Amino acid sequence: MTVMLYATTAATLFALGLYAVLVRTGLIHRLLAANVMATAVFLFLILVSAENPEGVDAIPQAMVLTGIVIAVSLTAFALALLRYLQAADDEEDQTGSQDGRQNGPD
Amino acid sequence: MISLDMAGLYAAMPMWVVLSSLLAGLVILTLGEPWHRTRVFINIAAALVKILLVGIMLWGVAQGQIFFFEWQLMPGISFVLHADALSMMLSSLSAILWLLTTIYAIAYLEDSPNRARFFGFFSLCVAATMGVAVAGNLFTFFIFYEMLTLATWPLVVHRGTREALRSGGLYLGFTLGGGALFLIGVVMVQWLAGTTDFQAGGFLTALELSPGLLTGLFLLLFAGTAVKAAVVPFHPWLPRAMVAPAPVSALLHAVAVVKAGAFGIVRIVYDVFGLELTAILGMNHFLAIMASITIIYGSVLALRQQDIKRRLAYSTVSQVSYITLGVGIGGPLATIGGLVHLVHQGLMKITLFFCAGNLAETHGIKTVDQMAGAGRRMPWTMMAFTVAALGMIGIPPVAGFVSKWYLGLGSIDSGQYWVIAVLVASTLLNAAYFLPVLKRAWFDAPPTKVSHQGVEDASPGLLWPALITAALSLGAGLLASMPFSPLQWARFIIERFYG
Amino acid sequence: MGLTELSILLPVLMVFGPLLLALLVFLAQWQRSADWLGMGLGLILLALLTPFSGAVLLEGPLEMQLGGHDRGLAIPFYVDGLTLAMLWLNTLLFLFIQVYAGAWLQLKQPAPAAEFRPLFLLLWSGLNALFLSGDLFNLYVTLEITTLAAVPLVILSHGHAAMAAAMRYLLFALVGSIIFLLGVALVYAQAGLLSLPLLQEQAEPHPALTVALLAMTAGVAMKAALFPVHAWLPEAHASAPSPASALLSALVAKAAAYLILRLWMGPLEAQWTPAMAQLMGALGAAGIIYASIQALRQTRLKRVIAYSTVAQLGYLLLLIPMASVLAWNGVIYHALTHGLAKAALFLAAGNLIMVLRDDSLRNLAGCDRVLSKNILVIGLAGVAIAGLPPTGGFIAKWWLISAALESGQWWWAVVIGLGGLLAAAYIFRILSYAFFSPDPHQETPIHQAQGQLTRALVWPPVILAFLAIALGMAGGLLAPFLEIAAPVTGAQA
Question: Is B117 within 8 Å of B29 (Cβ atoms)?
Answer: yes
Does residue A106 form part of some domain? no
- Residues C32 and A99: their CA atoms lie apart, in Å, by 30
Chain B, window 109-138: residues with a beta carbon less than 8 angstroms from a chain C beta carbon:
112-114, 116-117
- Residues A67 and B91: their CA atoms lie apart, in Å, by 67
Chain B, window 76-95: residues with a beta carbon less than 8 angstroms from a chain C beta carbon:
76-79
User: If we measure between CA atoms, which residue out of C280, C311, C279 comes closest to residue C295?
Assistant: C311
Does residue A41 form part of some domain? yes
- Residues B248 and B231: their CA atoms lie apart, in Å, by 20
- Residues C127 and C339: their CA atoms lie apart, in Å, by 14
Handedness of CA B183, B185, B188, B192 (dihedral sign): negative
- Residues C24 and C20: their CA atoms lie apart, in Å, by 6
Which of B479-488, C64-73, C189-198, C336-345 bottoms out in mean pLDDT, i.e. has the lowest? C64-73
Quote the DSSP letter at residue B367. Answer: B
Question: Collapsing DSSP states into helix, strand and coil, what is residue C255?
Answer: helix
Which of A90-99, B116-125, B379-388, C32-41 bottoms out in mean pLDDT, i.e. has the lowest? A90-99
- Residues B359 and B367: their CA atoms lie apart, in Å, by 10
Mutual angle of helices C301-317 and C253-264, in 10-degree steps? 10
Closest CA of chain A from C235, distance in Å = 13
Give me the mean pLDDT over the C320-343 stretch.
Answer: 95
Give me the mean pLDDT over the B36-52 stretch.
Answer: 93
Instruction: Give contacts of B146 with chain C, Cβ < 8 Å.
Output: 388-389, 394
Question: Is A43 within 8 Å of A12 (Cβ atoms)?
Answer: no
Best of C398, C462, C478 to substitute, by most chain B Cβ atoms within 10 angstroms, is C398
Question: Is B390 within 8 Å of B381 (Cβ atoms)?
Answer: no
Closest CA of chain C from B150, distance in Å = 9
The strand pairing partners of B70, in sequence order, are: B80
- Residues B409 and B414: their CA atoms lie apart, in Å, by 9
- Residues B54 and B87: their CA atoms lie apart, in Å, by 10
Give me the mean pLDDT over the C389-412 stretch.
Answer: 94
Mean pLDDT of chain C: 89
Question: Collapsing DSSP states into helix, strand and coil, what is residue B412?
Answer: helix
pLDDT at C83: 94
Does residue A101 form part of some domain? no
CB contact under 8 A, A74 and C170: yes
Handedness of CA C240, C246, C252, C254 (dihedral sign): positive
Give me the mean pLDDT over the B215-227 stretch.
Answer: 94
pLDDT at A85: 86
- Residues B289 and B293: their CA atoms lie apart, in Å, by 6
Give chains near B: 3+ CB pairs under 8 A. Answer: C
CB contact under 8 A, B74 and C479: yes
The strand pairing partners of B80, in sequence order, are: B70
CB contact under 8 A, C405 and B77: no
Give chains near A: 3+ CB pairs under 8 A. Answer: C
Give the angle subtended at the CA of B135 by the CAs of B129 and B139, to the nearest 5°. Answer: 110
Quote the DSSP letter at residue B446. Answer: P
CB contact under 8 A, B146 and C472: no
Quote the DSSP letter at residue B79. Answer: E
Instruction: Give contacts of C190 with chain A, Cβ < 8 Å.
Output: none
Q: Flag whether pLDDT at A96 surpasses 80.
A: no
Question: Is A55 within 8 Å of A66 (Cβ atoms)?
Answer: no
Phi/psi for B80 (5° steps) reads -120, 130
Tell me which amino acid residue C49 is.
Answer: L
Give me the mean pLDDT over the C299-314 stretch.
Answer: 95
C418 in contact with B, Cβ within 8 Å: yes
Touch of A by C (3+ CB pairs closer than 8 Å) = yes
Instruction: Give contacts of C388 with chain B, Cβ < 8 Å.
Output: 146, 150, 176, 179
pLDDT at B201: 85
pLDDT at B114: 84
Please tell me which of the candidates A63, A78, A85 has its beta carbon nearest to residue C174: A78
Model-level ipTM above the cut of 0.90: yes
Exposed, middle or buried, B454 (CB in 10 Å: 0-12/13-18/19+)? Answer: exposed
pLDDT at C110: 75
- Residues C462 and B102: their CA atoms lie apart, in Å, by 28
Torsion angle in degrees (nearest 10) through CA of B30, B35, B38, B40 = 100
Does residue A104 form part of some domain? no
- Residues B90 and B99: their CA atoms lie apart, in Å, by 14
Torsion angle in degrees (nearest 10) through CA of C438, C439, C445, C447 = 120
CB contact under 8 A, A102 and C358: yes
C16-28 pLDDT, tens per residue? 999 999 999 888 8
pLDDT at C1: 52
Chain B, window 28-47: residues with a beta carbon less than 8 angstroms from a chain C beta carbon:
29, 32-33
β-pairing, B77-82 with C75-79? unpaired
Give me the mean pLDDT over the B479-491 stretch.
Answer: 88
C157-190 pLDDT, tens per residue? 878 888 899 999 999 999 999 999 999 999 999 9
CB contact under 8 A, C405 and B188: yes
Give Cα C206 to chain centroid, integer Å. 32
Phi/psi for B69 (5° steps) reads -140, 135
- Residues B435 and B212: their CA atoms lie apart, in Å, by 46
C-beta atoms surrounding C334 within 10 Å: 26
Give Cα A8 to chain centroid, integer Å. 20
pLDDT at C266: 83
Give me the mean pLDDT over the B423-436 stretch.
Answer: 94
Q: Who's near A52: CB < 8 A, 6+ residues apart? A: none
B498 vs C424, more confident: C424
Integer-rounded Cα radius of gyration of chain A: 20
Instruction: Give contacts of B142 with chain C, Cβ < 8 Å.
Output: 389
> What is the residue range of A58's domain?
2-93
Chain C, window 319-378: residues with a beta carbon less than 8 angstroms from a chain B beta carbon:
366, 368-369, 372, 376
B159-199 pLDDT, tens per residue? 888 899 999 999 999 999 999 999 999 999 999 999 999 99
- Residues A62 and B452: their CA atoms lie apart, in Å, by 96
Best of C288, C372, C426 to substitute, by most chain B Cβ atoms within 10 angstroms, is C372
Band (pLDDT 50/70/90 cuts) for residue A101 is very low
Touch of C by B (3+ CB pairs closer than 8 Å) = yes
Handedness of CA B120, B122, B128, B130 (dihedral sign): negative
A8-49 pLDDT, tens per residue? 999 999 999 999 999 988 889 999 999 999 999 999 999 988
Please tell me which of the candidates C72, C171, C185 has its beta carbon nearest to residue A41: C185
Torsion angle in degrees (nearest 10) through CA of B444, B445, B449, B455 = 110
Domain count, chain A: 1
Distances (CA, A) of B108 to B151, B249, B458: 20, 13, 10
pLDDT at B456: 81
Which helix (H) or strand (E) covers residue B172, if one does?
helix B162-193
Band (pLDDT 50/70/90 cuts) for residue B453 is low
CB contact under 8 A, C163 and A85: yes
β-pairing, B68-74 with C75-79? unpaired
| End-to-end Cα spacing for chain B | 32
Question: Collapsing DSSP states into helix, strand and coil, what is residue B34?
Answer: coil
Q: Who's near C304: CB < 8 A, 6+ residues apart? A: C295, C298, C361, C426, C429, C430
- Residues B485 and C64: their CA atoms lie apart, in Å, by 70
Which of B158-162, B297-301, C256-260 bottoms out in mean pLDDT, i.e. has the lowest? B158-162
Mean pLDDT of chain B: 90
Task: Evaluate the omega torsion of the peptide bond into residue C321 and state whether it is cis, within 30 degrees of 0.
Answer: no
Give the angle subtended at the CA of C422 by the CAs of C417 and C423, to the nearest 5°. Answer: 95
Give me the mean pLDDT over the C430-450 stretch.
Answer: 70
CB contact under 8 A, C436 and B172: no
Give Cα C65 to chain centroid, integer Å. 26
Instruction: Give contacts of B165 with chain C, Cβ < 8 Å.
Output: 432, 435-436
- Residues B441 and B356: their CA atoms lie apart, in Å, by 12
C389 in contact with B, Cβ within 8 Å: yes
Which of B99-108, B389-398, B455-464, C483-492 bottoms out in mean pLDDT, i.e. has the lowest? C483-492
CB contact under 8 A, C160 and A77: no
Does residue A105 form part of some domain? no
Question: Collapsing DSSP states into helix, strand and coil, what is residue C390?
Answer: coil
- Residues C293 and C290: their CA atoms lie apart, in Å, by 5
- Residues C46 and C42: their CA atoms lie apart, in Å, by 6
Q: Flag whether pLDDT at A104 surpasses 80.
A: no
Does residue A82 form part of some domain? yes
Q: Provide the residue count of chain B.
A: 499
Which helix (H) or strand (E) covers residue B69, if one does?
strand B68-74
β-pairing, B68-74 with C62-66? unpaired
- Residues B199 and B271: their CA atoms lie apart, in Å, by 5
CB contact under 8 A, C73 and A78: no
Q: Flag whether pLDDT at C365 surpasses 80.
A: yes
Give the angle subtended at the CA of B157 by the CAs of B154 and B162, to the nearest 5°. Answer: 150
Does residue A102 form part of some domain? no
Give me the mean pLDDT over the B343-372 stretch.
Answer: 91
Closest CA of chain A from C171, distance in Å = 7
Band (pLDDT 50/70/90 cuts) for residue A98 is very low
Q: Provide the residue count of chain C.
A: 493
